[in-house]
Amino acid sequence: MARLQETRRIARLLEIISYIQQAPRQWTRQRLAEEFEVSPRSITSDLQVIRNGLGWELCVESGSGYYFSKKVPRLPSVSYSVSEALALLLAVQAGSSYGGVQQVELSAAVKRLTSVFPEDLRRIVEHLQENPPSQTDGRRTTILTQVLSAISKSQRLHLVYQVASRGGDMTERDVDPYGIIPYERTWHLIGYCHLRQAVRVFKVDRIRSIEILPQRFTAPNDFDTERFLASGWGLMRGLDLPVDDVVLRVYPPAADWVAEGEWFEGERTEREEDGSVVYRASIQVTPEFQRWVLRYGQMVEVVAPDHLREWIAGEARAIVQRNSART
């Protein structure tokens, strides 16, 4: 919960800076407090962080709101080790591949990060940048902006959402947004769904329309994004599916891939004399997990549960039938 509160405060600080930049002398402490529904004392603390922590020249005159004495405040310079800068660079480049992130800002960030690299490493980085990501999806950017704004203010969202199952039915639901994360080259919203009365994950690209509602929410004290993600396979949650004791025997070369990976909290792997690996986990067998098993083809044997083995066998027969029809 502490991490969630810290994330929200950072988001609020960024929005305060944006508000003051866009409308200098218009935002007073009281007006900011009302906008974010926090106490004036909290806003005072935020302004002190901007002024003293970031070192930006934030000013105010009697009878008006805050403004920056410089046109565009800049973040203070930060020193990175090569390993730290490289880790940040990889994160920036990963984020750019998801779309919804402004490429101009990303290019500036990459340029600043690579400036601390030795010449040899800088050439490698520049070579990797020769294949830039595709253009930002404007619709995705708009949705991400609204979601992040709602998270920063703890405001409820109303979504028209196209589900992946049932032929892609359109559903309407209110969601309390807890966070947003990248996964499989796109972005996902994690929040409490009032339609399902449970925490759910929503793919941003399936949100057909979005509206920020005036209702505020308070996230549960015991909710933690990392713990939530560790409780299931990937992002998909099995709704009412039971938890199965899964046992897989994985043969080389896939045995090494499975043994070396960290796929699920509480999983266990055992090496066998023939080079295979026995994989065990107590998990909901979701479609996402089924696809993960299927990807290993003939290199995996499903020992348990029976319904997973039957599904894999059925998919294998269907693949053979469909591809044999073209011969």
Check which CATH number belongs to the domain holding 225 and give it.
Answer: 2.30.30.520
Enclosing domain of residue 291: 243-324
202 with 248, same domain: the answer is no
Q: What is the tally of helices (H) and strands (E) in the chain?
A: 11, 11
**DSSP labels, 129-165:** TTSPPPPP-HHHHHHHHHHHHHHHHTEEEEEEEE-SS
Q: What is the mean pLDDT of residues 260-266?
A: 74
| Higher-pLDDT residue of 303, 58 | 303
159 with 222, same domain: the answer is yes
Residue 9 near residue 48, CB atoms below 8 Å: no
pLDDT value for 132: 47
H or E stretch covering 15: helix 2-22
Judge whether 105 lies within some domain: yes
Q: If you average pLDDT over every residue of the chain, what do you get?
A: 78
H or E stretch covering 58: strand 58-60
Judge whether 75 lies within some domain: no
Longest dimension (CA), the chain: 83
Domain count, the chain: 4
Determine if the pTM surpasses 0.85.
no
pLDDT value for 235: 62
> Which residues, listed in sequence order, are joined to residue 302 by a DSSP beta bridge?
248
29: domain CATH number? 1.10.10.10
Q: What's the gap between Cα 35 and its chain centre?
A: 26
* pLDDT per residue as tens digits for the range 200-212: 889 888 999 999 9
Residue 1: band (very low, low, confident or very high) from pLDDT cuts 50, 70, 90: very low
Smallest Cα–Cα separation from 302: which of 286, 279, 272, 318?
Answer: 279
| Higher-pLDDT residue of 249, 124 | 249
